[in-house]
Amino acid sequence: MEIRSFGKISKSGKVPPKTMSILKTRLGKEDYQKLIKINNPKLHQFIADYVELCNPDGVFICTDSPEDIRHIREEAIRTGEERRLATDSHTVHFDGYYDQARDEKNTKFLLPKGVDLGSNINAIDKEEGLKEIHSLLKNIMQWRKLYICFFCLGPTNSKFSLPCVQLTDSSYVAHSSDLLYRLGYEEFKRLGGSQAFFKFLHAEGELERGASKNIDKRRIYIDLDEDTVYSVNTQYGGNTIGHKKLAMRLAIHRASKECWLTEHMFLMGIHGPGGRVSYFTGAFPSLCGKTSTSMLKGETIVGDDIVYLRIKGGKMCAVNVEKGIFGVIQGINSKDDSILWKVLHSPGEIIFSNVLVTEDKDVYWVGKDGEVPKKGINHSREWIFGKKDTEGKEIPHSHPNARFTLDMKLLGNVDPELNNPQGVVVSGIIYGGRDPDTWVPVEESFDWVHGVITKGASLESETTAAALGKKKVRKFNPMANLPFLSITIGEYIENHLNFGRALKNPLPIFSVNYFLKDSNGEFMNDVRDKAVWLKWMELRARNEVEAVKTPTGFIPRFQDLKRLFKELLGKDYSKEDYVKQFTLRIPENLSKIERIMRIYEAEVPNTPKVLFEVLGEQKRRLQEAAKKYGSYVSPFKLAEAD
């Protein structure tokens, strides 16, 4: 079916009378008055069309007022989408048993005939997709309330930022968005009739025991031409909180046209000597240490997930798109994550999702301190130790992709520049993933192009529970952004190369690997070691330490790491550890190059030629080193030759 629109906006910008009549009737007097204070005909038309199609039982317009925000929070409890916990202002939400991660298979772009974004991009014919999604949305909200909320991606009143509106029948989704994003009702009023805003429509569909029932009809469709995302028959945040990875796809498409970048990156301040702060961005696939890195004790966090990057005065500047965190909770413990641990155990507005709730209304997750409770309530509902699902698989007490949602104002290490509309100047870029056998713990590229190609465009990572599908499969994921691209991979890489050319002084690009394993399958890095890698990168970005040149980049000198380990962690860093961690593994590096080149040759049309040139040069350097030193080369040998 096609959506019925009630006339067209006139050339003078007026909405058809029929549209305004529908809004008056369906919204009620108070909410209608809230809406028309925003003088935006395109917004009014969008809302009217989908109110009629989805046919909600009632409509609530959420302004930026504390009263409206409180109403959303209370609705989440009233509807049962969230339950109160023992700690003040803590709540828990459960998604359906089979609705626990991003559904990449059913997340598709609506593309007009003749448009092709490449084989790595999941797409459907636009006309066909709209017909399907509109059919699914017909009367889907007839027994529920529709919440219409306004947000701003990035600081308000900023060149970086993008306004957006979300229509959802889920009070949990609306509440989560309030915690994660800057309020945007006043921003919409300020912008008036601007058509440059993103639109999100979410419907959780028929519910069974409080969770979306019709998972077989779960669809997440993205219309790039209309800057619109549709999400239906799902509750999981990654599929429904439209301003996160769904908005990333819209923003990547827009950024490509306007010569800036939208990246799957944290943004943090690394504190160096003399009280200085150097800002770094970092791209890691989910469950690879991105949030824990950005939350490192002694440093300050600007954001943990998505950044917009622009060039100002020849320098790279960045803002955090969000003001909150929707983070993986697995593994958070008092020893390694003291800041988050304290926040998660203190009063304050936090939504836990898909964890175990105990009889005394406390929460427990995988990797939390203490003994695992024997029973409770989790994503499978009533749970006891040893419980199995219908397929005979044992159900863990907490889902591996369980999450927490909070406003960053609860954190004690928030950087004061979080809401700076000008952003912060970036000193370095970091790429990391789950790599058991190839990359050393930290390495700097030779230059911008070498970094974009060998660190970003060549990024691989073992898959995790954040996306549906097989686990522990080495997956190609350039810039940790492949699942969210809305342009071809070739164009995406070219954009990064062009961005570097426009910088007065291109930034250093680093790789990190927290998951390197020895022959026994044991990790070579301690969880806390990342503090040392970050401090070394900060010193390198300031040209204050030397490095050892290898065929793949620059690695730290032993004496610098020995000093940093002692100063930061009170540890004696041994030569044996240095050799184990920073040995150049030539066979594994050559295999990686072969894998990456095959992918680009076979699957990525219009790959920039420089990618093959840079990887080819790296291959030759590795082969020459193998002839000279053998397959595995000690960093001390490389230091002698440097």
Residues serving a catalytic function are 288
* Neighbouring residues of 209: CB distance < 8 A, sequence distance ≥ 6: 381
Q: Is the distance from CB of 388 to CB of 394 less than 8 angstroms? A: yes
3-state class (DSSP) for residue 345: coil
3-state class (DSSP) for residue 613: helix
How far is Cα 106 from Cα 96, in angstroms, rounded to an integer? 17
Query: Based on C-alpha coordinates, what's the Rg of the chain?
Result: 25
Closest by Cα among 19, 125, 11, 480 to 283: 480
Q: Euclidean distance between the first and final Cα of the chain, in Å?
A: 68
Q: Is the distance from CB of 246 to CB of 200 less than 8 angstroms? A: yes
How far is Cα 329 from Cα 280, in angstroms, rounded to an integer? 23
Torsion of CA 441, 476, 332, 330, to 10 degrees: -150
Q: In whole angstroms, how far apart are CA 60 and each of 83, 107, 289, 298?
A: 21, 28, 38, 42
Residue 435 has φ and ψ, to the nearest 5°, of: -130, 105
Q: In whole angstroms, how far apart are CA 230 and each of 148, 252, 319, 334, 545?
A: 14, 17, 26, 39, 50
∠ Cα 146 304 592 (to 5°): 115
Sole residue written with tokens 């954001």: 303
| 470 CA to centre of own chain | 20
Tokens representing 412? 């004690």
- Output DSSP code: residue 102: B
How far is Cα 92 from Cα 77, in angstroms, rounded to an integer? 10
Strands (DSSP E) found in 246-398: 261-263, 266-271, 277-283, 300-303, 307-312, 315-320, 324-328, 350-353, 356-357, 363-364, 375-378, 381-384
Helices 558-569 and 575-582 pack at an angle, to 10 degrees, of 110
